[in-house]
């Protein structure tokens, strides 16, 4: 037991962190029912598991096809296991363990009270992460993984051995990779925060009189590996989209997003516009409620409506255009929050990044 509580050992920090996270997650599952936050996740699960078709498919529409291949392969191998939910829970477990391990390491290196990292982590978990540990969502799980990658990167400076640095770097690249392939939008948000961490570390390196060249080399290698992996994943996903006929759907969805995510011009304001594309007020009402199973709901018709809305916006004076754009931005953000979409992932990353600031602000004991 004494060996396990030796906080100066990297192995002990992993064991302690993992045990704490397991206890917190088990208590969470005892209190809250494990479920999906949105129906998008249920849809993804049904596709990769083949529950409707009988054949697992990697074409999830929402995630990178690499993630789809991984899950559909697991469902093909052992279909009785709920791999989609297990993957989310496992990734959350790894991410939380890495966050707590990093906090403990920094406190030990700066000789701060050992209770500090546990207090910080408990605060983060109870107030911000507990809910999304049970209410799984493909927007927030990548955010948690990305937050762990940021915290790990900030604590690289405190690695005492090459082995520990290598393990942390592999974990960082893996977390960023999964954050991106589960949902690219959340992955992009994570990368923005990751970039700020790198900028801070580089600025600190430049300002320091005792410059650690090995640390700089590690960061460069870390960035190169991450960029290569993410670009490769994007190219592979695009290639498979074209081979499997997904390009047409992506093009349709782009026009649909332009219509549904911004201000929707009511039928009463432009009856001629809708009449020209064969829509009536009833069909527009159905489309506004995500009903698209009508031959008049096409990419071309969405493009016509979007062009009309853009022409209206361009005809406004500069001041009115600013007011309109501001109003649309606020309304869009509101809808994103209500649908637990991109903004949820971004917000969760922002909250979790508190752990990063905790690392940077922990002071060495006098």
Read off the pLDDT of residues 108-145 as tens digits, 9 standing for 90 and up.
887 778 888 898 888 888 877 888 899 999 988 998 99
Q: How many other CB atoms are there within 10 angstroms of residue 99's CB atom?
A: 31
- The most confident of the ranges 4-13, 75-84, 319-328 is 75-84
Report the C-alpha gap between 177 and 63 in whole angstroms. Answer: 12
Report the C-alpha gap between 133 and 36 in whole angstroms. Answer: 10
| Nearest alpha-carbon partner for 125 in 14, 16, 23 | 23
- The most confident of the ranges 9-23, 181-195, 206-220, 306-320 is 9-23
Phi-psi region of 50 (alpha: psi -120 to 50; beta: other; left: phi over 0): left
Q: Are 344 and 337 in contact (CB under 8 A)?
A: yes
Report the C-alpha gap between 258 and 280 in whole angstroms. Answer: 20
Residue 328 has pLDDT above 70, yes or no: no
According to the model, what pLDDT value does residue 77 have?
94
- The most confident of the ranges 69-83, 176-190, 217-231, 340-354 is 69-83
User: What is the pLDDT confidence band of residue 3, given thresholds at 50, 70 and 90?
Assistant: very low
Show Cβ contacts of residue 151 under 8 Å, excluding neighbours closer than 6 positions: 98, 99, 102, 103, 355, 356, 359
């Amino acid at each position: 037991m004494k060996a396990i509580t030796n906080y100066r050992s990297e192995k002990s920090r992993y064991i302690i962190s993992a045990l704490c996270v397991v206890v917190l997650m088990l208590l969470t599952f005892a209190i809250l029912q494990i479920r999906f936050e949105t129906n998008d996740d249920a849809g993804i699960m049904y596709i990769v598991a083949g529950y409707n078709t009988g054949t697992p498919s990697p074409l999830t529409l929402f995630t990178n096809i690499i993630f789809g291949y991984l899950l559909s392969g697991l469902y093909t191998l052992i279909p009785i296991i709920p791999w989609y939910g297990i993957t989310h829970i496992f990734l959350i477990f790894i991410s939380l363990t890495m966050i707590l391990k990093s906090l403990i390491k920094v406190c030990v290196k700066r000789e701060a009270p050992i209770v500090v990292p546990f207090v910080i982590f408990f605060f983060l978990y109870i107030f911000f992460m507990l809910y999304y540990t049970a209410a799984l969502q493909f927007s927030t799980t990548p955010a948690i993984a990305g937050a762990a990658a940021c915290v790990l990167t900030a604590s690289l400076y405190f690695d005492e051995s090459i082995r520990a640095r290598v393990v942390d770097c592999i974990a960082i690249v893996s977390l960023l990779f999964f954050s991106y392939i589960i949902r690219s939008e959340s992955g992009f948000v994570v990368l923005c925060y990751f970039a700020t961490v790198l900028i801070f570390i580089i600025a600190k390196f430049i300002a320091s009189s005792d410059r650690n060249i090995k640390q700089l080399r590690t960061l460069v290698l870390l960035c190169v590996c991450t960029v290569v992996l993410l670009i490769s994943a994007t190219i592979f996903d695009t290639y498979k989209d074209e081979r499997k006929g997904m390009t047409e759907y992506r093009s349709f969805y782009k026009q649909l997003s332009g219509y549904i995510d911004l201000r929707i011009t009511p039928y009463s304001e432009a009856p001629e516009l809708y009449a020209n594309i064969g829509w009536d007020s009833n069909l527009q009402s159905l489309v506004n409620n995500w009903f698209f199973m009508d031959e008049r709901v096409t990419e071309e018709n969405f493009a016509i409506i979007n062009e009309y809305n853009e022409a209206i916006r361009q005809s406004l004076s500069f001041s009115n255009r600013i007011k309109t754009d501001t109003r649309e931005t606020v309304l869009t953000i509101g809808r994103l929050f209500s649908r637990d979409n991109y903004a949820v992932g971004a917000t969760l990353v922002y909250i979790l990044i508190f752990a990063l600031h905790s690392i940077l602000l922990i002071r060495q004991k006098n």
